[in-house]
Amino acid sequence: MRLLYGADEAVGAWVQSRIPSMPRLPVPYVGIGVIQGAQLVAGVLFHGYIPEFGAIEVSIAADTPRWISRNRVSLILGYPFRQLGCGRVGAAIMASNSRSIRLCEGLGFQREGLLRRGFGRDDAVVLGLLREDWERGRYGNVS
């Protein structure tokens, strides 16, 4: 598997088509894809960047859990922390989507709260990953 850069709109459309609760995002956003053979099997969107606060949001979709490797995750999360200099990456996930919540927690994100009816009738779990937690964690020290 390899990473796909520079295809923001294609990765964005792919990710948004797989997350039913996700509204259509206005450009700009940055999409990083994971390619297996000729197929996109995972995509990560960084959106809602606020440079003044050093904060950005992330949305992740995948057709297989096999896309996850220490090196790939380090490179992908290196974008907001290393390239943009962010201090925080946030995510909001439907409370019923326990698989995605576990994925983010496995990547080092911490639960920060619950937005009641954050997704219409469904609650949203808010998670965040701080730069210092990422650097100390499993995925921050990979070269």
Q: What is the CATH number of the domain that holds 6?
A: 3.40.630.30
Give per-residue pLDDT as tens, 52-99: 999 999 999 999 888 888 888 889 999 999 999 999 999 999 999 999
pLDDT in tens, 106-141: 889 999 999 999 888 999 999 999 999 998 876 666
Integer Cα distance of 36 and 44 in angstroms = 15
Domain count along the chain: 1
Distance CA 75, CA 1 (A): 13
Q: Is 97 exposed, middle or buried (0-12, 13-18, 19+ CB in 10 A)?
A: middle
User: What pLDDT score does 69 carry?
Assistant: 86
Query: What residues are paired with 46 via a beta bridge?
Result: 30, 58
- Domain hosting 122: range is 2-136
Q: Does the reported pTM lie above 0.85? A: yes
